Amino acid sequence: MATIRSNQNARGAAARRSARGGRMGQISYMRDPDLEHSFEVGDTVEVYCDHEKDKDRIRGWLKGIIVQIDNKMIAVQFRSNVFLTDGWMVPDRILWYPVNSEHIRAMPGKKPKKEKELPDY
């Protein structure tokens, strides 16, 4: 009887998996995200944050490099010390920002790279 029960449990689990789709679906949005800038890993950006300048802690725009992009977040790494809003220094100098944050912007004067369009064959 133990084998019959385990087979029934296995069939039941497979049916439940197939009813749910089995795989994770695409991320759906209520509306398309409005992106002023489309950032890529390696882009140089300016971020409004607490940072160290001439051994003083100030809040202002600081140049950084995008090191990771997620569906919702962008990670920016800096060469100088940066701080969280509650005063703690970030040891790896990486801050995360939402994709649509007003505290991150493309470097002024830098034009986005135009990619060459490849012909369709």
Tens of pLDDT along the chain (121 residues) come to 455 555 555 555 555 555 555 555 566 555 555 555 578 898 899 999 999 888 888 999 999 999 999 888 999 999 999 998 888 888 899 999 998 889 998 887 655 556 677 777 7
Q: List phi, psi (to 5°) of 92.
A: -95, 0
Nearest by Cα to 86 from 48, 49, 55, 56? 49
How long a stretch of residues is the chain?
121
**pTM, 2 dp:** 0.59
